[in-house]
Amino acid sequence: MRFDIITLFPEMLTSFMAMGVTRRAFESGQLQVHLWNPREYASGNYRRIDDRPFGGGPGMVMLAEPLWQCLNAIRSDRQQDRVQAPLVYFSPLGEALDHTRVDRWAKSATGAVLLCGRYEGVDQRFIDAHVDFQISVGDLVLSGGEIPAMAFLDAIARLQPGVLHDPDSHASDSFNPSLDGLLDCPHYTRPEVWQGQQVPEPLLSGHHAQILGWRRAQSLTQTWRHRPDLITAARAAQQLTPQDEACLADLVNVTAAKKNRLQ
């Protein structure tokens, strides 16, 4: 699967792809990443890629023409592809990146061209004419699209076969369908007691069914406390069992009892 990245700072992506467990996806060629600097496609002695915004105001705006020329070069280099890869722009206007969308991209046959904006943004005419998808990584503003691009690629890379030591590792991740889209449970390792805190007894029992039951209950608890919207979604999809609902009812009752004691 091939990804082409348009960025003014290709060295940021180069370092990212050489580190961590996900580097295996890049080293093996499962994810082929090509880096393109739009400055190389700008005209003039200074290779200018930005200018002041019409209407005034602070900051600079990336020029449409160098981006267009860079995109043309990528399209030409991808001529062997029967289906042209979509252009993705990382922007606060985009759809929120989540596990479902990552899983879809991880199974894509064409990959994508990723546009990392800078400054105040990109000339809207280029976006209107050539961008196929806009993606957001949260309600915040970053200095450029390189960090979202790395988050996007990292999430896709870890889903590739053989990248993680245990092929089932990502099956228990938060938001995964195997958890019905819920948050993952807490995790513990040695020693059994750390600063007076004991590892929960079920995890030390060696009883497989008891461990699975504890983990499911903790997953429900974490989700109910921190992302109740995911509980609502799981109910709407009829993914919760009667045992799950009983666990949630107990949580509601215990919380209400604590509030009453404090009043």
User: Which residue of the set 65, 103, 154, 173 is catalytic?
Assistant: 173
User: Which residue of the set 2, 118, 158, 216 is catalytic?
Assistant: 158
Beta carbons within 8 Å of 62's beta carbon, 6+ residues apart: 38, 49, 50, 117, 118, 119, 121, 122, 123
User: Which residue of the set 47, 51, 81, 92 is catalytic?
Assistant: 92
Q: Assess whether 158 carries a catalytic annotation.
A: yes
Q: Assess whether 40 carries a catalytic annotation.
A: no
Q: Assess whether 173 carries a catalytic annotation.
A: yes
Q: How many residues does the chain have?
A: 263
User: Which residue of the set 120, 184, 227, 235 is catalytic?
Assistant: 120
Tell me which residue of 3, 1, 160 sits closest to 87, measured CA to CA.
Answer: 3
CA distances from 59 to 91, 201, 231 (A): 17, 57, 42
Calculated CA dihedral for residues 124, 7, 91, 3, nearest 10 degrees: 110
Pairing of strands 112-115, 2-6: parallel
Q: Assess whether 27 carries a catalytic annotation.
A: no
Catalytic residues, which ones? 92, 120, 158, 173
